[in-house]
Amino acid sequence: MLILEIIFWVFLFIIFYSYAGYGILITLINKIGFLKKFFPLPKNAIVRLNHKIESNEELPKVSLIISASGE
């Protein structure tokens, strides 16, 4: 019975983490200052404060493919 209980809690944790845990973790890392030094920005990151996009040339090109069946 102990093995089934461990498996249950592991799968419950995985489901919680995939729906909410990752977002909570990223928010905590962003809000807590001393954690930022463990997760530095990439070397090619551009940090812009109060920057407005003036033209479409600065926007990245993004494609979204949605696979649907029976639609």
pLDDT tens digit sequence for 36-62: 777 777 777 777 666 666 666 666 778
Quote the number of domains for the chain.
1
Full residue range of the structural domain in which residue 16 is found: 2-50
Q: Residues of the chain with pLDDT > 70: what percent?
A: 80
- pTM check: above 0.85: no
pLDDT tens-digit map of 61-71? 788 888 888 77
**Does the residue 64 lie in any domain?**
no
The single residue listed with the structure tokens 């944790």 is 13
In a domain, 42, yes or no: yes
Report the alpha-carbon distance of residue 31 to residue 63 in Å, rounded.
31
Tell me, yes or no, whether 7 lies in a domain. yes
pLDDT of residue 56: 64
Would residue 33 count as lying in a domain?
yes
Distance CA 13, CA 45 (A): 33
Which tens digit of pLDDT belongs to each residue from 3-35?
Answer: 999 999 999 999 999 999 999 988 888 888 777
Is residue 13 assigned to a domain?
A: yes
